[in-house]
Chain A
């Protein structure tokens, strides 16, 4: 990472995560439409199978990274005062990390129970 925030890395990351999010969202959508799990037991079985579990983990990670780059872009465009921008970036960062940890907790619980 250079002195300034990254340009190419952020852009490439946003593009790559967008592809994964789009494909996995479609997969989840079709799954829920065509073969919705009936009841908690079936739901748990579906999401605790290793490929699905890893897929979900990556999905959460991709959304967090994608959201970070996108919101950072908006803040760089519109929020000029340094203090305010820093505060907002920190707020967004903390929110995203907290959301990620929460999602991770749910995923772990699905596997344990």
Chain B
């Protein structure tokens, strides 16, 4: 099977180029296995990966135009030649490795931790099963970055728009019955950029390898904002 992978060495190249590799596939082979095979053929080839089972979120790449996790993408699903590129819109460090700093900065900006104003209780803060259920579809995010780097609004304004990943996280804490900073969180999202650059394009929903729905979370935030405003 033919693979066209993106190569870029900042010390040598002005711009990325596609290099062709021939890889023998086997039943159940994942794209990550193919990339490892390519690395055996050319050890200068560079990409991120770790757990190999869709949990760590390290090996997000753009495959035939779609952001996916290489480790849980069967090569049998892909049409040859398979074009593997780094995430779109991010500065390339080398080959498939990109600089995700802006993505992490946006995550940090939504204060992804529980804020408690009451004195901390002696025991853990309990949640009812219904309260806990509200976090389903939110807490599972592995921060692979597939969604935010597929989002046109994040491409145009990565320094100002939080992007789907950070906004999903923002809603995860707004929806948490144990959090007590609702007003502050909503105030921090006001203005035309951080939240409202989302135009419900829904690329994020389409690419999320965990099947999460950032667009829905963003809709919930807007609704809550409106509810608190009138």
Contacts and interface: CB of A to CB of B under 8 A. Distances in A.
A, B co-complexed: yes
Interface of A: 2, 4-8, 10-12, 72-73, 76-78
Given A8-B229, A77-B157, 20 more contacts: A2-B191, A4-B190, A4-B191, A5-B192, A6-B190, A7-B189, A7-B191, A7-B194, A8-B190, A8-B196, A8-B225, A8-B226, A10-B196, A12-B226, A72-B192, A73-B199, A76-B157, A76-B192, A76-B193, A77-B153
Given A76-B192, A77-B153, A8 B222 contact: yes
A95 B194 CA distance: 29
A11 B226 CA distance: 10
B156 interface: yes
A90 B228 CA distance: 32
15 contacts: A2-B190, A2-B191, A4-B190, A4-B192, A7-B191, A7-B193, A8-B222, A10-B196, A11-B222, A12-B226, A12-B229, A73-B192, A73-B199, A76-B197, A77-B153
The residue in A7, A72, A73 that gathers the most chain B C-beta atoms within 10 A of its C-beta is A7
A6 B222 CA distance: 13
Interface in B178-224: 189-197, 199, 222
A5 B160 CA distance: 13
A72 B194 CA distance: 16
Contacts of A2: 190-191
Contacts of B196: 7-8, 10-11
B195 A7 contact: yes
A73 B225 CA distance: 19
Per DSSP, are chain B's interface residues mostly helix, strand or loop, or mixed? loop
Contacts of A5: 191-192
A10 to B, nearest CB: 7
Given A76-B197, A77-B197, A7 B157 contact: no
Nearest to B195: A7
A10 B157 CA distance: 19
Nearest to A14: B196
A6 B157 CA distance: 17
Contacts of A72: 192
A4 B161 CA distance: 14
B192 A78 contact: no
B48 to A, nearest CB: 30
Closest 10 CB pairs of A and B: A7-B196, A4-B191, A7-B191, A7-B192, A5-B192, A77-B156, A8-B225, A7-B190, A11-B196, A12-B226
Contacts of A8: 190, 196, 222, 225-226, 229
Nearest to B226: A12
A73 B161 CA distance: 13
Most chain A CB within 10 A, of B153, B190, B193, B196, is at B196
Contacts of B195: 7
A12 B230 CA distance: 11
Nearest to B189: A7
Nearest to A70: B199
A2 to B, nearest CB: 7
A10 B191 CA distance: 9
